[in-house]
Amino acid sequence: MPTDNPYAALLEKLDLRTKVRLLTGETAFTLWGEEGIGLAPMAFSDGPTGVRGLKFTGGEKVALFPNATVLASAWNEETAREVGGMLAEEAERQQIHVVLGPTINLHRTPLGGRLFEQYSEDPLLTGKLASAYVKGLQDKGVGACLKHLVANESETLRNYMDSRLSERALREVYLLPFEIAVEESNPWSIMAAYNDVNGVAATEQQHVNNEVLKGEWGWDGLLMSDWFATKTSAPAALGGLDLVMPGPDGPWGEALVRDVESGTVPETVVDEHVTRLLRLAERVGALGEHRQWPATSTAPDAPERRAQLRRLATDGMVVLANNGALPLAADAGTVALVGRHGVETVCMGGGSAQVNPPYQVSIAEGLREAIGDRLTVVDGVEVRERPVAADPQWLRDPETGEPGVQVRHYDADGELLGEGHTDGASVSVGWDDDFPRPVEKVTIAARVAEAGRVQLGALGVGAWTIAVDGEQVASSTLVAEGYDPGESMLKPPSFTEEVELAEGALVEATVTLVRSEPRPAPNGEVNQLSHLIASGMGVKSLVARPVAARAEETIAAAVEAARTADVAVVVVGLTEEQETEALDKHTLALPGEQDALVAAVAEAARRTVVVVNAATPVLMPWAHLVDAVVVVGLPGQEGGHAVADALLGVREPAGRLVTSYPAADGDAPAWDVEPTDLALEYTDGTFIGYRGFAAGHAKAPAWWFGHGLGYATWDYDAAQVSGKGAEGAPRVEVTVRNTGERDSREVVQVYLQPAEADEPVRLVGWAAAEVAPGDSATVTVECDARLWRRWDEQAGKWATLGEGGELLVARGLGDVRHRLAL
Ligand code: BGC
């Protein structure tokens, strides 16, 4: 052990078994402590859009932030840092040491299910925002965790697929956000991805983990695995992985002890992992003198938190098109709000980024508060293909009468393990429960609040029966599909029956766990994931939802409301069926008959504004028929208020797109997410997103990365290279004039078009200014020298791009205002 290791004395107190034990989690989200050396157990929590806490479902109420693309669309490092600070406060309140975020994989193909959780398709924008977020968190002593290292841009077969890409693309594109964040913010931890990279598991990547991250970059943090991603003992321990998550079981333990005893893994390697763990512990206040958690903290629904979340959401909303219909004038008359997403606004995506918020404001509620009786609300067409868990507002606990359900857990002998009220209609079995004996059976009971025809059924693996007023009406045995426990949670098997229910009818769903033979994974192995899927654990939900009206009837009602109002606001979007972890999309088309709904309303209404409640690209075949389009993403718990502010111009929706929106399915530099023989070729090389569109690798997008109108118009009066900044990169000065009628924030973007024909155009810097109408501001953009590097594959090192080329001063590459020769 190097004598300069500050933890040498502590390591000496630990025997091999104890050290190895520390290197696998104790539970799903906590680590082992070790009193003898003053090590407290550390707690981790997922984090991109809120600090969920230690439970996957049904945990504490925590603040739900706008999703990552909304935050990123503000192109604002200051607010990214503010978000980090807010997340740190959320973490401290729950005594969490490390927040598992930010997610900084890139928007490579628009089909990626997890794009909503990632910042953008650009490595510089992503890296800079990530650095700010990390600083915000770590300034308050809470660790960040960059994830997922690396080339984890899609979800299909994510545990088994191999991302195949050139060293150039790896260095110049996919590692770059990690490199920037490591250099600028020194994140205390990083998460190794599920996938393989060029044939080697990310958890075993000698090249990425040891040579690049810990070697070249000199990073001294802790590298943990994604949950259940580690498949081996020696290759992972030797391949730079420091910590296996979750625990308590995993591939290290005794196997790693044996590997050390046999000499396969030198004990110094184990010491190095423990050293990094102790360093993290020291940084987050879990070693030696333990941190004091604040006695008071901002509640997730405190007025100041609400105000912050509302402002952050509006700042990232993007006005794509506007012929003057927005903002809605205070005296604009009546507004018809149409669409399922208006009534049930989707405020977050699916998967580990989900949290349990104190409330979520729908757009209908937000607008109602703002304009009162001038608003008419009409539900829209169905937007989901699969049944969803019952809306607790529609159910009453049979015991207490409160909204929600009553849940009972039983063991294999039929003994009651626990009963209680939950205000959702979902129960998690095996992950989050802390009963003394394993759960075998669960009942979910509720009375329905209204009479009507209802889809009644269940979601989740198990043998189900559903009874109404004591009489069985349906039963089914649901089994897990796929190869990913995440998939069976996020796209659970389901069944439903249509039944007529009287008001107050008692619905009781009973589910008994079904265990199956573990199935071999696509690579032929029966592994930890096979066992998890076969265990029958997971989320089980009651489905009880009024049968939806037919699309034609809904559209007719919407058209009628639109015809009689002064302006129609149609809210369309995606749901957690598309924007979720563990699954990818197959199309960018809006689900259901939403396109038909917009077209019909646009034809009937005097003016039509479309609000897109989705974080990632969708097709807008109706864009030419409407007066304005604004993308509001997944706006968090304050969603409806923030959208109302944006529409009414109380605050400018000042966002710029962080990803290009293709004009049609397939029209993108990278599209496919289906690996072939488990391999996914990154055929777009360094031409990711707008870089590929600009090079003509795909038909021009409908909306470019960087596009966003805000509520002003701008003249770019002058632009010049005014000198050189850090590392010799150009400094660009641009004078912009607000030619509109409102205060506005302009984001000046500078792209480099290198002289070399085979080099893609790329964002090299941006800066923003807030300017009053009629006023000008000179904006200085410091370009980033890291974008002038080219990875020389032959020499295996960085080279610098040749002289020449052009700088493009642009509002997205669809609107280039100046070209400056270099
Ligand atoms: C996700 C990670 C997450 C972890 C813990 C995994 O499935 O990929 O991003 O942090 O679960 O919830």
With cut-offs at 50, 70 and 90, classify the pLDDT of residue 489: confident
Retrieve residue 241's tokens: 């992985």
CA nearest ligand 1 atom 3, residue: 352
pLDDT the model gives residue 506:
96
Confidence of residue 546 (pLDDT cuts 50, 70, 90): confident
CA 52 to ligand 1 centroid distance, Å: 12
* Residue 752 sits in the same domain as residue 651: no
Answer for the pair 374, 567: CB distance below 8 angstroms, yes or no. Answer: no
Gyration radius of the chain's alpha carbons = 27
Q: Same structural domain for residues 665 and 744?
A: no
Whether 279 is covered by a domain: the verdict is: no
Cα–ligand 1 centroid distance for 227 (angstroms): 6
Does 473 lie in the same domain as 407?
Answer: yes
Q: Are residues 362 and 399 located together in one domain of the fold? A: no
C-beta 396 within 6 A of ligand 1: no
Residues 435 and 453 in one domain: yes
Q: Which residues pair with 737 in a beta bridge?
A: 715, 776
Spatial separation of the C-alpha atoms in residues 719 and 215, rounded to whole Å:
40
Cβ(84) – ligand 1 distance below 6 Å: no
CA separation for the pair 542, 458 (Å, rounded): 5
Q: 624 and 586: one domain? A: yes
How do residues 296-326 score in pLDDT, each as one tens digit?
999 999 999 999 999 999 999 999 999 999 9
Residue 488: what pLDDT?
Answer: 79
Chosen domain end from 674, 703, 726: 674
Distance between CA 281 and CA 287 in Å, rounded?
5
Q: Is 38 exposed, middle or buried (0-12, 13-18, 19+ CB in 10 A)?
A: middle
Instruction: Give the per-residue pLDDT at 394.
Output: 87
Closest CA to 101 of 353, 354, 357, 356: 353
Cα torsion 682, 684, 685, 689 to 10°: value is -110
Check if 189 has its Cβ closer than 6 Å to any atom of ligand 1.
no
Beta strands in 161-236, from DSSP E residues, in sequence order: 162-164, 189-192, 196-197, 200-201, 222-225
How many CB atoms lie under 10 A from the CB of residue 650? Answer: 15
Pairing of strands 679-681, 162-164: parallel
Backbone angles phi, psi at 733, to 5 degrees: -115, 130
pLDDT-based confidence at residue 490 (cuts at 50, 70, 90): confident
Mapped onto helix, strand or coil, the DSSP state of residue 360 is: coil
Say if ligand 1 is within 6 A of residue 486 CB: yes
Closest C-alpha to ligand 1, atom 8: 226
**Rounded average pLDDT over 157-170:** 97
Residue 411 has φ and ψ, to the nearest 5°, of: -90, -175
Q: Which atom of ligand 1 is nearest to the CA of 193?
A: 8
For 606-640, give one letter per residue: b (16+ CB within 10 A) or e.
Answer: ebbbbbbbbbbbbbbebbeebbbbbbbbbbbbbbb
Cis amide bond preceding 327, omega within 30: yes
> Are 511 and 429 contained in the same domain?
yes
pTM higher than 0.85, yes or no? yes
CATH number where 803 lies? 2.60.40.10
Q: How confident is the model at residue 409 (pLDDT cuts 50, 70, 90)?
A: very high
What pLDDT, on the 0 to 100 scale, is given for residue 165?
98
Output the pLDDT for position 549.
86
Q: Give the pLDDT confidence score for residue 247 in this predicted structure.
A: 95
Regarding whether 571 and 662 lie in a shared domain, the answer is: yes
Q: What percent of the chain has pLDDT over 70?
A: 100
In a domain, 16, yes or no: no
Look at 55-59, 385-389, 396-400, 524-528 and tell me which has the smallest mean pLDDT: 55-59
> Cα(190)–Cα(171) distance, rounded to whole angstroms?
17
Q: Is the CB of residue 100 below 6 angstroms from any atom belonging to ligand 1? A: yes
d(Cα 470, Cα 422) in Å, to the nearest integer? 21
Backbone angles phi, psi at 535, to 5 degrees: -70, -15
Catalytic residues: 226
Residue 764 lies in a domain: yes
Residue 1 predicted with pLDDT over 70: no
CATH of the domain at 574: 3.40.50.1700
Lowest mean pLDDT among 519-528, 778-787, 807-816: 519-528
Give the separation between CA 244 and CA 161, rounded to whole angstroms. 20
Q: How far apart are CA 406 and CA 445, in angstroms?
A: 5
Kind and range of the H or E run holding 668: none
Q: Are residues 401 and 542 in the same domain?
A: yes
pLDDT for res 660:
98
- Give the residue whose CA is nearest to atom 12 of ligand 1: 352
pLDDT-derived band of residue 2, with 50, 70 and 90 as boundaries? low
- Is the residue at 500 inside a domain? yes
Of 56, 581, 583, which is best to mutate to test ligand 1, by the most ligand atoms within 8 angstroms of its C-beta? 581
Q: Tell me what pLDDT residue 71 has.
A: 98
Does the beta carbon of 147 lie inside 6 Å of ligand 1?
Answer: yes
CA 267, CA 264: separation in Å to the nearest integer? 9
How many Å lie between the centroid of ligand 1 and the Cα of residue 126?
19
- Cα angle, residue 92 at apex, residues 87 and 94 outer, rounded to 5°: 100
Overall residue count recorded for the chain in this entry: 822
Secondary structure class of 197 (helix, strand, coil): strand
Is residue 368 in some structural domain? yes
Sign of CA dihedral 227, 232, 233, 237: negative
| Model confidence band, residue 228 (pLDDT cutoffs 50, 70, 90) | very high
Three-class DSSP category at 291 = coil
| Selection from 208, 214, 194, 755 nearest residue 529 by Cα | 194
Collapsing DSSP to helix, strand or coil, 477 comes out as: strand
Tokens for 123, please give them.
Answer: 């490595």
pLDDT at 443 over 80: yes
- Signed CA dihedral, 57, 61, 62, 63: sign only: positive
Burial class, 789, CB count within 10 angstroms (exposed 0-12 / middle 13-18 / buried 19+): middle
Q: pLDDT at position 48, please?
A: 84
Count of domains observed in the chain:
3
In the three-class reduction of DSSP (H, G, I as helix; E, B as strand; rest coil), residue 543 is classed as: strand
Pick the residue whose CA is nearest to atom 6 on ligand 1.
227
How far apart, in whole angstroms, are the C-alpha atoms of residue 152 and residue 202? Answer: 9
Question: With 80 as the cut, is the pLDDT of residue 3 above it?
Answer: no
Per the structure block, which two tokens stand in for 139?
Answer: 């300034």
Choose the residue to mutate in 352, 484, 489, 490 for probing ligand 1, maximizing ligand atoms within 8 Å of C-beta.
352
What is the CATH number for 423? Answer: 2.60.120.260
Structural domain contains residue 757: yes
Nearest 5 degrees, angle CA 187-CA 30-CA 20? 85
Please work out whether the CB of residue 117 comes within 6 Å of at least one atom of ligand 1: no
Closest of 727, 705, 711, 715 to residue 785, by C-alpha: 727
Closest CA to 25 of 243, 206, 235: 243
Give CA–CA dist 287/296, Å, rounded: 23
User: Which atom of ligand 1 approaches the CA of 117 most closely?
Assistant: 9
Q: What is the dihedral of CA 198, 199, 203, 206, to 10 degrees?
A: -70
**Among 500, 525, 546, which residue terminates a domain?**
546
Taking the C-alpha atoms of residue 110 and residue 664, their distance in angstroms, rounded to an integer, is 11
Q: Rounded CA gap, 545 and 446, in Å? A: 13
* Confidence band for 433, pLDDT divided at 50, 70 and 90: confident
| Domain encompassing residue 626 | 303-385+550-674
Same domain, 563 and 670: yes
Residues 6+ apart with CB under 8 A from 447: 395, 396, 397, 398, 504, 505, 506, 507
**Residue 595 beta carbon below 6 angstroms from any ligand 1 atom:** no
Closest ligand 1 atom to Cα of 145: 10
How large is the average pLDDT for residues 540-544?
Answer: 94
Q: Do the Cβ atoms of 210 and 227 come closer than 8 Å?
A: no
644 domain residue, yes or no: yes
Q: What is the pLDDT of residue 24?
A: 98
Q: Does any domain span residue 83?
A: no
Burial of 35 from C-beta contacts in 10 A (0-12 / 13-18 / 19+): exposed
Query: Ligand 1, residues 117, 226, 355: which to mutate, most atoms within 8 A of Cβ?
Result: 226
Dist CA 598 CA 198 (whole Å) = 44
Cis peptide before 409 (omega within 30 of 0): no
Is 539 in the same domain as 560?
no
Average pLDDT, the chain: 96
Residues 748 and 638 in one domain: no
CB–CB of 125/104 below 8 Å? no
pLDDT tens per residue, range 356-401: 999 999 999 999 999 999 999 999 999 999 998 988 888 999 999 9
